[in-house]
Structure 1
Amino acid sequence: MSSNKLQGNGLKCICSVYVPVKDPIKSAHWWQQHFGLDFAVPFNPEEAQAIMKLSDGQWLHLVETKGNIDNQFVNKAGYEMFRLTFEVRQIEVLHDHLLANGVKVDELKDRGSCGINFVFYDLDGNKFDINENVSVQREPEEIDKVKQHLFSHAR
């Protein structure tokens, strides 16, 4: 007789994220231009969504939405939250690329042991967070150079 009791954590990972957009193909090209994402499957206009693939295999579904797009929510402290954080490598390269290409980007934050973060907005105003845990991914001398590069612009 088999046991139906869950052993440990039953959730492995997030395989898909759904993002509301006005124009899936226009949004897909924006994600290609700024983040290098490719289509996970060929675009089918009848599905009213473009499906993009992240580097680790997860899918980003850009779903055509009618009406207002509201992908954020306000937390108890009154801060407008994003729904997800993307993990990256070489955050300084991505940050510079987005700024140089006119993407709306909020200020950088050094969150200590959580890493360096910044918020960006897509074509439809959806708010996303970017993170690199530099203390885990980089050598100490490289961390100082990255922080100097990123935070010297903010001063």
Structure 2
Amino acid sequence: MSGILRNALKAVCSIYIPVRSPLKSAKWWQQNFGLEYAVPYNEAEAQVILKLSDGQWMHLVETEGPIENQFPNKAGYEMFRLTFEVRQIEVLYDHLKTTDIQIGRLEDRGSCGINFVFYDLDGNKYDVNECVNVHRTPEEVDKVKVHLFDQIK
């Protein structure tokens, strides 16, 4: 290749999640997030492939080894490997509060948006984000923040 590569990596098309039971995990993702199968389940592959709304594939890969999807940052905070982008974060947050899913506290990260974390059946930690200032009017942002953060007070 000649020249300097610039932004050669376009997007993440697949993510791989370690799980104990791909079918049980797939059911959990379907029930709680509405994900659908990308391809039919193939038992020989020991994984389920689900599709996110924008088309990326999430592979739920069976493992017998340790599941260590998190890692500590320099300050010791347990980091997640993925942040899911969502729309209507308040709808998802309200829904997840009615389930037995472990969810973290809401955070207003300013220009980065509103976030919270959750854990799957196998203890994998995920972050959820909506850049509300980008996707909503200032009036809508105010309503969302009142809805989400006034519940906490």
What TM-score bracket applies, with the shorter chain setting the length?
Answer: over 0.9
User: What's the offset of the Cα at 1:101?
Assistant: 1.5
Once superposed, which parts of structure 1, at least 4 consecutive aligned residues long, lie more than 4 Å away?
Answer: none
Tell me the distance in 2 between the aligned counterparts of 1:53 and 1:100: 24
Identify the match of residue 10 of structure 1 among 8, 13, 16. 8
1:124 maps to: 122
Q: TM-score, normalised by structure 1?
A: 0.96
- Write the mapping of 1:66-81 to structure 2, written as runs, cut at 5 A: 66-81=64-79
1:34 maps to: 32
One-letter code aligned to 1:20: P
SS of residue paired to 2:53: coil
Identity among equivalent pairs (%): 67
1:153 maps to: 151
User: What's the offset of the Cα at 1:6?
Assistant: 4.2
The answer as to 2:68 corresponding to 1:100 is no
Q: Report the count of equivalent residues.
A: 153
Q: TM-score, normalised by structure 2?
A: 0.97
For structure 2, list consecutive stretches of 5 or more residues without a partner in the other structure.
none
The answer as to 2:40 corresponding to 1:58 is no
1:84 maps to: 82
Tell me the distance in 1 between the aligned counterparts of 2:115 and 2:5: 34
Tell me the distance in 1 between the aligned counterparts of 2:100 and 2:152: 17
For structure 1, list consecutive stretches of 5 or more residues without a partner in the other structure.
none
SS of residue paired to 1:50: strand
Tell me the distance in 2 between the aligned counterparts of 1:61 and 1:153: 35
Let me know the Cα RMSD of the aligned residues.
0.9
SS of residue paired to 1:51: strand
Tell me the distance in 2 between the aligned counterparts of 1:32 and 1:96: 17
User: What's the offset of the Cα at 1:67?
Assistant: 2.5
SS of residue paired to 1:153: helix
One-letter code aligned to 1:47: E
